[in-house]
């Protein structure tokens, strides 16, 4: 019994040491404004979209169409995105965006609907945006 406890203790201490050494960058303030691009898959085809973000707005350029959203910052790393001109009930739902790590020219983010819908799977999705200006 004592050897089992010692084994768990060794694994626990090793895990804590290894995870405490890894620290992801989160310089979110560098990504609050600017011009960005990201790739996404639509119907099996990889596409690239661009968006311009200010402190208060985001303008997405997807398939040669512009779409604007308002932004309400929660903190330097999180904000709520809400379409200004939604064309469906689904587009009326605000999206919670969270920057989870940054590099020198990009950031990884998670997003989900800001309000949970009991009738819909509200899992978090991930993406990467690259700052181009």
- Per-residue pLDDT reduced to its tens digit, 17-68: 444 444 568 899 999 999 999 998 889 999 999 999 999 999 999 988 999 9
Q: What is the pLDDT of residues 68-83, one digit of tens each?
A: 999 999 999 999 999 9
CA distance 63 to 82: 20
93/78 Cα distance (integer angstroms):
17
What are the φ and ψ backbone dihedral angles of 102, each rounded to 5 degrees? -135, 155
Closest residue by Cα to residue 77 from 98, 47, 53, 58: 98
The domain 24-131 is classified under which CATH number: 3.40.50.2300, 3.40.50.720, 2.40.128.490, 2.40.10.220? Answer: 2.40.128.490
Contact 62, 68 (CB under 8 A): no
Look at residue 11 and tell me whether its pLDDT is greater than 70: no
Per domain, the residue ranges of the chain are: 24-131
Closest Cα partner for 66 from 79, 85, 82?
Answer: 85
């Amino acid at each position: 019994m004592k050897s089992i406890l010692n084994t768990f203790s060794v694994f626990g201490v090793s895990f804590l040491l290894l995870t405490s050494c890894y620290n992801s960058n989160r310089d979110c303030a560098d990504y609050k404004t600017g011009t960005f691009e990201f790739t996404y898959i639509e119907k099996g085809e990889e596409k690239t979209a661009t968006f311009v973000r200010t402190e208060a707005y985001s303008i997405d350029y997807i398939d040669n169409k512009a779409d604007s959203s308002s932004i309400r910052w929660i903190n330097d790393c999180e904000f709520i995105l809400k379409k200004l001109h939604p064309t469906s009930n689904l587009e009326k739902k605000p999206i919670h965006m969270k920057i989870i790590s940054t590099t020198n020219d990009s950031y990884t983010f998670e997003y989900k609907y800001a309000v949970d819908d009991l009738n819909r799977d509200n899992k978090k999705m991930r993406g990467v945006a690259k700052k181009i200006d």
